[in-house]
Structure 1
């Protein structure tokens, strides 16, 4: 599998990483421990060497499952372990942003325990907290790095201006924005900023919450706390428009490359710059197509045809703003 260095750190990762938001169960209709652990191990078997998680994914559940899978399988040394910090749900009033130094310290120790490790490879601020100076947050993470408890620092959902301020107090190696064929806001600012600044992009939502998997139909329903119940992309009539785009993209991928739309969507993300595509999976079989990503590229005529399909089917694409936690 293709690899990439993460910023200026000494970390090297596969260009496809395993995203474990869905494994945590919260906003994804629950979780299955045995199946989740099997999925994590299957990812490593397929050549994936980065696993990305967060405390808020199931309020500790995702981190616990990742830690258990890596420890019991003797896999910790084979992967770049990435998690996040800076969200707080402890007051019982929903999830809020909190990057105060004491909260970061408490989360760090909890994550180390749940992940069953002494060091987190990539530690990322999950969302900017406007009540806490960014320089203070960065300095706190720099302290963690000097203590040897983390190896590299990243941010998620930050603007270039926020990253500039953050970088005044520590070395920043990575940024994690949402990015896929249907959610491309970061092309206007975060992507060029990362290229100019030597940052690696861990892009989440490469398959747009399953929309680009090629496995959905207009009859698909979402139950429980599944966040797709409130995602406007999955509401009629927009859902049908996005599915039409997926159908045309799938036809293009199969006729031109003998690949699926899923492989096309991930390959497109990788071809945009210094990117790692986070591939969310809940079952081992959802990783079967990982081997279809390497060994080819999208040529300019294909990229132009992709743009034409998107312009024709979904001319007013929607941003993923609905996922942002409150200030």
Structure 2
């Protein structure tokens, strides 16, 4: 497993991280604790040492499961935990609201440490920018936690360049977490070059585009309950058919040119883009079986051009991931 260093922190993580939104159950049709714990253990066995979570993933359920999984046989020392703060739920409401006020962040930190059964969080991230709280106040609150030894590194998620500039003026920023995959490439215009310029590591969420890039979906695929994909326009007509057609052609390219799967191509493509980590969402151990087959070597220019041509042919106007943003 290839690793990447986090700035000047001395922290080194695997370039594939385990994404645990689905493990929390919320917006993914529920969860199974025993299977989720087995998935976390499988990730560690595969060389993945970074686990990304958030209190919003099942209102703490994902963190609780991770805490239980890492409490077994001293596994906490083998894992890096990245969690988040700044989203809260009101009683009786299913959608979170943004709150990055210092008092709320301190409360969230204490709750996350308890659920995760640890005394320090390796990467603490603001989940979404909060327009009601000055960014400098939020940054200073996290820097105080860093100085107190409660967190080892600071990150932000879904922040613009201007917001990251303001944040960096008040606290050292190590990481940013944007959506990024073959079908959602908006950050190539701003966040990706910014990360390269300022030595930030990018934790790319949605690396498999919510399952589209696994190659296992078909026109009759349906999603149960509160599954996020029921509100993602990419999984609705007429977009779904176009994306599936692109996946079929990417499958053929991956097989004939690289002797890999479309999933392997999608992850390898992310790793070739710069200071990137691909967050691989899974909630069953078997979903991690292909991890060992992922190559981290760069893709040649001809392959990159062929990928771009396929995308332009099938999804010339890709659907942005903005539908996931919680209300302001």
CA distance in 1, matches of 2:8, 2:317: 37
Q: CA RMSD for the aligned pairs?
A: 0.8
Moved more, 67-76 or 196-205: 67-76
Matched residue, 1:11: 11
Matched residue, 1:264: 265
Taking the TM superposition and a 5 Å limit, the aligned residue runs for 1:283-298 are: 283-294=284-295, 296-298=297-299
Matched residue, 1:64: 64
Taking the TM superposition and a 5 Å limit, the aligned residue runs for 1:36-115 are: 36-93=36-93, 94-115=95-116
Runs of 4+ with deviation above 2 angstroms: 90-94, 294-297
CA distance in 2, matches of 1:296, 1:158: 29
CA distance in 2, matches of 1:326, 1:8: 35
Q: Deviations over 1:84-137 (max 9, x none)?
A: 000010444431000011110000000000000000000000000010000000
The answer on whether the counterparts of 1:63 and 1:111 sit within 8 Å (CA) in structure 2 is yes
Q: What is the number of residues matched between the two proteins?
A: 327
CA distance in 1, matches of 2:312, 2:281: 26
Taking the TM superposition and a 5 Å limit, the aligned residue runs for 1:166-315 are: 166-294=167-295, 296-315=297-316
CA distance in 1, matches of 2:199, 2:294: 24
> What TM-score do the two structures reach when normalised by structure 1?
0.99
Q: Secondary structure at the match of 2:327?
A: coil
> What TM-score do the two structures reach when normalised by structure 2?
0.98
Gaps of 5+ in 1: none
Q: Secondary structure at the match of 1:196?
A: helix
CA distance in 1, matches of 2:7, 2:156: 12
Q: Give the C-alpha shift of residue 184 in structure 1.
A: 0.5
CA distance in 2, matches of 1:179, 1:86: 21
The answer on whether the counterparts of 1:8 and 1:198 sit within 8 Å (CA) in structure 2 is no
The answer on whether the counterparts of 1:81 and 1:122 sit within 8 Å (CA) in structure 2 is yes
CA distance in 2, matches of 1:75, 1:300: 41
The answer on whether the counterparts of 1:41 and 1:73 sit within 8 Å (CA) in structure 2 is no
